[in-house]
Structures are given as C-alpha cells and as structure tokens.
Chains A and B, each alone.
Chain A
Amino acid sequence: MKSFDMPVGPLHLSLEEPMYFRIDVEGEEVAGIEITAGHVHRGIEYLTAKRNIYQNLALIERVCSLCSNSHPQAYCMGLEKIAGIEVPERAQYLRVIADEIKRAASNMFNVAILAHIVGFESLFMHVMEAREIMQDTKETVFGNRMDLAANVIGGVKFDIAEDRIAYVIAQLNKLEPILVKEIIPLYETNSSILSRTRGVGLINRDQCIDYGLMGPVARGSGYAYDVRTAAPYAVYDRLDVEVITYPDGDVWSRAMVRLKEVVEAIRLMRLCLRELPEGPLTAGPLPFIPAGEAITKVEAPRGELIYYLKTDGTDIPARVKWRVPTYMNWDALEVMMVGGRISDIPLIVNSIDPCISCTER
C-alpha cells in the first residue's frame, strides 16, 4: 500500500483554529501523527507581568473566548488566597452561575460544530439557535455575549436582582425542553450522527489517565474526574454536582457528555438562583495583595484549568502561569487518530474541543 505524508494546517478548512499536523497516511488509514504547536503564541503570560492586578482581569479574560470566565475566576481565587480575602456568599453563588452559563454555551457550540463537520447543517443551526438563548441571557445579565467580566478580586461586579432572577429562569425554561426533547434525542438516534461518531476516535480510561486527560474527553471514557467535585471551589460543595460519564471513549460519547453537562448546568443555575443569599457582592473596595504564591484550579468547559500566581507585594504580579486542559488533550490525538480514517480527522480534532488560543496564549 502506498504511504505518504499529509500536512493538515496550520490554516485548513476543517480546522477552526491554527494547528499543524503532519499525518503519516497509509492508503485511507492514519499511521502516525506529529503535532506542531505555537502558531498563535501572543506572549500573554509575559504581558501579565507588565500590567497591574486590575488590568490583568481584562487581559486574562481575553486569553480565550469560550472559557473566558474560568480564567479570571482562577486568577481571582489565586489573589484571594494570597491576600486571605473572604469572598462573600452571594458572590460565590453568582460566580457559579457565571461559570455554568459559560459551560452551557461552550458545550453547545462544540456539539453544534460536530453536526457541521458531519454535514448536518440544519442540526448545526438548530443547536446554535438554541445556544442563542444562553447568549441573550449573558448579554442581558452581564452585558456581553462572550466576555462576562463577572469577576473582580474579592467578589463579582454583576448582580442578579429579583426581576432578573425571573428572567434567567424563564430563559432556562425555554432552553431545557429544546435540549432534552429535541437536541439530545437527535444526537442519540440520528443515523448520520451515529454512523460518523460511534466507535471513532477511541481512547480508553487507562490511556486517559496515562495522558493526564481532563474534562469531557476523560469523562467520555468513563474517567469521572471533575474539579467541581474533586476539589470544590466557590459553593460547588453544596450543590451536589453530578459528574457525567460515558463508558465508550469515542467521539459520540464525548459529545453526549457535553450535552448532558448542559442539562446539569441548567440545574445548577436554577439551584443557585433559588438559594442566592442576600449580602455584599465584593469583600471590600481595594485589596492589598502581599507577597506570596498560590495555586488554584477550576473546572473550565474543557477540563481542569490550573493557575499559579506569584506576587511580590506590589500590584503587578511577579508571575502568572497557567496550564490548560487542551495541552494534554491534544497530545492524546495521537491515540485517537492512529488507525482511523483520514476523513475522520476533523471530527476527532473537534471531539477534544481544542482551545488553541488558551494553550498557546
């Protein structure tokens, strides 16, 4: 059989972001893969040491648009840990709401793209239209569709008053039936989806652990690791988060984990809105951040996001470093792709929901 090298990327029709793969192909089959990174490196970690802690809130939020709430959240948690700041309860609940609304929108985006790659454009548009309900909610509550600008050091800078609570619940009531009665059954039964995604891009639980995989990718292989239950932050310990897993480790399982997590996110938002206690939104006007170090982690839509912070007593951080889930997840593409067909490459890449702008910052 004839074998040859095939370059895919860094700019390629089927990739949403710049990645570069050299794929070793034998006939129709992928025999080996080499990934080259670094096409969208912008030096953001370096820039954080050139700006003060407040300006960094906005900079860090712009590392990536889909997990744009998880980054400032982990960053604020780090500074709060160093300074010993107690975040008020109301702010903790509001942080969970911001986190979950982003997770819902991010997961639906990825699942919609799956339909687009399969060629089922009307399903793609249907999921994107349902996702608009979350986008509208974000715009109304936070003032922007993507960058919520929800977190500040010591709390949050948005509030959900009584009339807004009713609005958000009405929006959730609008989304949930579309998701549970239309979208999820379609992904579970539609033959075009199933034939392209079942048994494709396989990775098992042990391989997930070997590669240190996170988030829906690992949970799609039955590895039930979720920061929200393993090391709860904000008020996740009171919410009894259900960790969704599927056993098979294929493209379809990862999509199903994401869809079911949207349903869970809706439940968590409802719960937070009901339990939302009265009280202040921030711990105080201006924090003093002493010299110190902290490591924090949160569950971003793509998995575990770790922040390391070092301060020196000034209001410019000495070092901010983060590790994103895609870093490990894209290494595992090797396992998922080798032995598969060339035509499945875009589906497999999409199934890890890669966020290149986070990874290469």
Chain B
Amino acid sequence: MAFLKILFDNLREGPATEAFPFGEAATPDAYRGKVTFDETNCVGCNMCEHVCAGGAIRFSEKEDGLHFLIWHNTCISCGLCAHYCPTKAIKLSNDWHLSHLQEEKYEQVDHAVVPYRHCTSCGERLQPGGPMLHQLAFKGTNPRSQRLMNMCPDCRRKASYSGEAL
C-alpha cells in the first residue's frame, strides 16, 4: 500500500530522465571532459606526460619547438595532467561530446607546437616559458625582468653585470 503513494507521486512528477538527445543534458562546470591545451602558457616541463595514466599525452622535440599530441581516445579524464601542470596550460573542459564513427578513431587527436624562445641578445634557443611561469615564479613582472627573462643565462649574467638591463 505504501508504495502506491510513491507510484502516484512519480506519475504526477513525470519522467525523471533527461530528454537527451532531444533536449540538452545538464552538464556541470566541473565535469571532467575533453582535454584542452594552451600552447602559449606551456613551459615544456613534461609533467603532464609523466603523470598521464593512459599515456594519452606525447611530447617530442623538433626544430621549431615542442610538439604536443593528445590522443583523446586514450585519455581517461583522470585530471592528473591538469592538477600537476604548474601553469594550468592543460585543462579538462566539460565537453563530453566525444562519440565518433569507428573509422574516425585514429583522428581523435589534437596537435600543438610550443615554440622555442630565442635569446634576444645572442639568438640561442631557449626552452619555452610563457608569461604564466614568470607570474608564478616572481609574483609579477617589471620591464627589467621582462627583458632579462628572454635572454639565455650567459647573456642575462652579462647584462646584469654591465647594468644595461637596469
């Protein structure tokens, strides 16, 4: 008998399921979905690749910079990459629309190039280091630190001694 009331209430309240695919399914902001990557903030520390449980992230060093690859099909949305990324260049979006045809399974890849920097004084190749890293390391920048940060260690030392960077 007690259950009749529940059945009646359910009837009155209508369907409890979401109308998807005929309507939008509610997606929370924090939902762990497709990985996004911002090459301007990546500093090439490779931590995301190291912690990636699925082996979905791959970095390789090429002439023009660090090549970043993410295989979305291999990603298990664990969020470890985003957690350990010092500059939050890699994040998880709440996009869960990842279904695709079987023949497209090897195309679920995003590629980006993180360009090397070049010393503004001698032109030597430097590891990438976006503005976020300086923000983290120095809690803010000034014109002098901005000039110094784009030099190689040798030129930076010389510039500091000669006072030209002041």
* A contact residues vs B (CB 8 Å cutoff): 51-52, 54-59, 61-62, 122-123, 126, 129, 132, 139-144, 147, 149, 152, 157-158, 182, 185-186, 189-190, 285-286
Q: 8 extra interchain contacts, Cβ-Cβ under 8 A, other than A54-B80, A142-B30?
A: A52-B50, A55-B53, A122-B3, A132-B16, A141-B30, A144-B77, A149-B78, A149-B80
Interface residues as binary, B71-106 with A (CB distance below 8 Å gives 1, 0 otherwise): 000001111100110100000101000000000000
**Cβ contacts A to B, 12 pairs, < 8 Å:** A51-B53, A54-B53, A55-B51, A57-B53, A59-B53, A122-B6, A123-B3, A140-B30, A143-B30, A144-B31, A144-B32, A286-B84
Q: How far is the CA of A189 from the CA of B50 in the complex (A)?
A: 55
Interface residues as binary, B29-68 with A (CB distance below 8 Å gives 1, 0 otherwise): 0111000000000000000001111100000000000000
Q: How many residues of B contact A (CB 8 A)?
A: 25
B7 at the interface (CB under 8 A from A): yes
Q: How far is the CA of A31 from the CA of B25 in the complex (A)?
A: 51
A-B contact count (CB 8 A): 69
B122 at the interface (CB under 8 A from A): no
Specify which chain B residues have a CB less than 8 angstroms from the CB of A286 in the assembled complex. Answer: 84
* B83 nearest CB neighbor, chain A only: A157
CB-contact partner of B80 in A58, A123, A144, under 8 A = A58
* A282 nearest CB neighbor, chain B only: B83
B2 at the interface (CB under 8 A from A): yes
The smallest beta-carbon distance between A203 and chain B, in angstroms, is 30
The smallest beta-carbon distance between A354 and chain B, in angstroms, is 25
Specify which chain B residues have a CB less than 8 angstroms from the CB of A285 in the assembled complex. Answer: 86
B28 at the interface (CB under 8 A from A): yes
Given the known A-B contacts A140-B30, A147-B78, are A186 and B2 also in contact in the complex, defined by CB atoms under 8 Å? yes
B7 and A143 form a contact (CB under 8 A): no
B30 and A54 form a contact (CB under 8 A): no
Given the known A-B contacts A54-B51, A144-B77, are A149 and B16 also in contact in the complex, defined by CB atoms under 8 Å? no
Given the known A-B contacts A139-B31, A143-B30, are A58 and B78 also in contact in the complex, defined by CB atoms under 8 Å? yes
Specify which chain A residues have a CB less than 8 angstroms from the CB of B31 in the assembled complex. Answer: 139, 143-144
Specify which chain A residues have a CB less than 8 angstroms from the CB of B6 in the assembled complex. Answer: 122, 126, 182
Residue picked from B51, B52, B94, most chain A C-beta under 10 Å: B51
The smallest beta-carbon distance between A76 and chain B, in angstroms, is 13
Given the known A-B contacts A123-B3, A132-B16, A185-B2, are A139 and B28 also in contact in the complex, defined by CB atoms under 8 Å? yes
Residue picked from A58, A132, A185, most chain B C-beta under 10 Å: A58
* B27 nearest CB neighbor, chain A only: A139
Specify which chain B residues have a CB less than 8 angstroms from the CB of A190 in the assembled complex. Answer: 2-3
Q: How far is the CA of A285 from the CA of B84 in the complex (A)?
A: 8
Q: How far is the CA of A158 from the CA of B92 in the complex (A)?
A: 13
Interface residues as binary, B1-22 with A (CB distance below 8 Å gives 1, 0 otherwise): 0110011001000001000000
Residue picked from A54, A57, A61, A186, most chain B C-beta under 10 Å: A54
Q: How far is the CA of A57 from the CA of B50 in the complex (A)?
A: 13
CB-contact partner of B76 in A58, A143, A185, under 8 A = A58
A57 and B80 form a contact (CB under 8 A): yes
CB-contact partner of B84 in A54, A158, A182, under 8 A = A54
Q: How far is the CA of A125 from the CA of B76 in the complex (A)?
A: 29
Q: What are the 5 closest A-B residue pairs judged by CB atoms, nearest first?
A: A58-B53, A143-B32, A54-B51, A58-B78, A140-B28
Specify which chain A residues have a CB less than 8 angstroms from the CB of B30 in the assembled complex. Answer: 140-143, 158
Residues 107-163 (chain B) with a chain A CB within 8 angstroms: none
Specify which chain A residues have a CB less than 8 angstroms from the CB of B52 in the assembled complex. Answer: 55
Q: How far is the CA of A52 from the CA of B46 in the complex (A)?
A: 14
CB-contact partner of A143 in B10, B80, B92, under 8 A = B92
Q: How far is the CA of A280 from the CA of B77 in the complex (A)?
A: 24
Q: How far is the CA of A58 from the CA of B78 in the complex (A)?
A: 6
Q: How far is the CA of A142 from the CA of B77 in the complex (A)?
A: 12
Q: How far is the CA of A51 from the CA of B80 in the complex (A)?
A: 14
Q: How far is the CA of A141 from the CA of B32 in the complex (A)?
A: 10
The smallest beta-carbon distance between B151 and chain A, in angstroms, is 27
CB-contact partner of A186 in B3, B53, B83, B94, under 8 A = B3
The smallest beta-carbon distance between A127 and chain B, in angstroms, is 11
CB-contact partner of B32 in A51, A52, A149, under 8 A = A149
A157 and B50 form a contact (CB under 8 A): no
* B82 nearest CB neighbor, chain A only: A157
